[in-house]
Amino acid sequence: MLKSLQMEKTIIKQPFPRWALISLSTAYFMVGTSSLSVIALTWQISDGLEVPPSDIAFLVTVFALAFAIAAPLTQVFFSGFARIKILCTGLGLLALALILGAASTSYEMLFISRGLMGLSAAAISPMCSAIGAGMVPPEQQGRAMGIVFAGLTFASVLGTPISAYLGTLMSWRLVFLVMALVALGSMASILYLVKDRQAGAQISFAHMFEALTRVRSSFAVLTTFLQMTAIFCTYALIAPYMSQKFGLAENLIALVLLAYGVNGVLGNVFAGRLSDRFGPDRVIFVTLIGLGAGFLMIWAIGPNLWLAFAAIVIWSAFGMMFHSPQQQRIANIDPERRSLLLALNAAALYLGISVGSWISNFVSVRWGYDVLPLVSLAVLAGCALIFCLSVLAMRRGNHSSRGGMQ
């Protein structure tokens, strides 16, 4: 007990580990870029492999589904291993999967490589969040998680638009090879800058079952799932949606993705500090309202490109503001099982991407692209309800804990 208190004091006295957190953010960047790059390369992959554009949504789905299944299982099978070893192994395997994707000669082969990418990414994201949260005291966790998770938003602002731009200059296969090199660079920076060599807590299937059945943790994770499902009901097919409704040329899709990413980054930057100041619950509530306004606006406006960009600004800023305070909430439900809870949250995030992408494809084939924002809005309404129930469950749990201590 005395040793743990001394360690905590040591952490508090240390300067804020900005560069180490940024290196962890680069790993998140690679997860986000490898996940979403196929959206930016929709037309190139569709033409190269001779498949309809709507089938590209399934490449997002298989990545996300593989991630969602593997993320919590990784915590069980590799519990007790050094967290940084799991993280760097995941980055190395991601690079190999990207190389396999670049060598794909058929849609089926690319589909398999996307699944392998998702499995690799499942070892990356939870470890980044767990290591980052453990580097700082609780009063700085919002800021730290904001920096780490910024990698995913930078994947939108830089990774995805750059992928779209490079896809106009070179083969999509070469874009995959570039991503593999960046993944290896991220691994090298983490090994150099991050000094964490701690092993994760021992985690069993019983711990996972408890987390999934306990109201406080299960409702919090379900909130993440529904929020990402709502976003990807529209975002998975944003390229053909913008092309059909607003007449946007293929070479301008990168600008849409850039606008989405820039505002996502800005939202994420402010979210961490706002969460430390006002509390994560209030920030999340505001983000859900803003995200709903963005969906409603992009559906309701006519073929006005400037208003469409304004709607995307609102949608992306509030959509990305959600995740830093949400990770902060989940990280503090049970600090001893933090990595498991963050893994379940990451699994929910990517399961939401998978389900949202599938819904996007299903709806667009039957009713067209124009109704996608309305579907997103309906899912988001369910998310808001679950979030409110999650807040009540957490407050009751905290009240019971205080009562027990008294």
Is the pLDDT at 3 greater than 50, yes or no? no
SS3 of 236, please? coil
Assign 251 a pLDDT band (cuts: 50, 70, 90).
low
Residue pLDDT, tens place only, 197-224: 666 666 777 777 777 777 778 888 999 9
Mean pLDDT across the chain: 82
Higher-confidence position of 356 and 260? 356
Is the pLDDT at 406 greater than 60, yes or no? no
CA angle 137, 319, 288 (to 5 degrees): 90
Quick one: 306 exposed, middle or buried, by C-beta within 10 A (0-12, 13-18, 19+)?
exposed
Q: How far apart are CA 37 and CA 159, in angstroms?
A: 7
pTM of the model: 0.72
With contact defined as beta carbons under 8 Å apart, do 98 and 146 qualify? no
Residue pLDDT, tens place only, 359-378: 988 888 888 888 899 999 99
Is the pLDDT at 11 greater than 60, yes or no? no
Task: Compute CA 332 distance to the chain's CA centroid, rounded to the nearest angstrom.
Answer: 19
Q: How far apart are CA 115 and CA 126, in angstroms?
A: 18
pLDDT score at 199: 67
Q: Can you give the residue ranges of every domain in the chain?
A: 17-397
Residue pLDDT, tens place only, 292-349: 998 998 888 877 777 877 888 888 888 888 888 888 888 777 766 777 888 888 888 8
Task: Compute CA 65 distance to the chain's CA centroid, rounded to the nearest angstrom.
Answer: 13
pLDDT score at 253: 72
b/e for 204-225, b at 16 or more Cβ within 10 A? eeebbeebeeeebbbbbbbbbb
Q: Which residue carries 């819904």 as its tokens?
A: 359
Name the DSSP letter for residue 332.
Answer: T
With contact defined as beta carbons under 8 Å apart, do 250 and 43 qualify? yes
Q: Which CATH superfamily is domain 17-397 in?
A: MFS general substrate transporter like domains (1.20.1250.20)
Q: Which residue carries 């899709």 as its tokens?
A: 253
**For 378-387, what is the mean pLDDT?**
94
pLDDT score at 5: 43
Q: What are phi and psi of 199, to 5 degrees?
A: -85, 150
- Report the range of poorest mean pLDDT among 66-75, 115-124, 179-188, 235-244: 235-244
Q: How far apart are CA 200 and CA 340, in angstroms?
A: 9
Is the pLDDT at 38 greater than 60, yes or no? yes
**For 100-122, what is the mean pLDDT?**
92
Assign 8 a pLDDT band (cuts: 50, 70, 90).
very low
Q: How far apart are CA 77 and CA 6, in angstroms?
A: 31
Proportion of the chain above pLDDT 70, given as a percent: 91
Assign 228 a pLDDT band (cuts: 50, 70, 90).
very high
Assign 9 a pLDDT band (cuts: 50, 70, 90).
very low
Tokens for 345, please give them. Answer: 């949250």
Q: What are phi and psi of 82, to 5 degrees?
A: -60, 130
pLDDT score at 10: 45
First-last CA distance in the chain: 21
Is the pLDDT at 402 greater than 60, yes or no? no
Is the pLDDT at 98 greater than 60, yes or no? yes
Q: What are phi and psi of 78, to 5 degrees?
A: -115, 20
pLDDT score at 114: 94
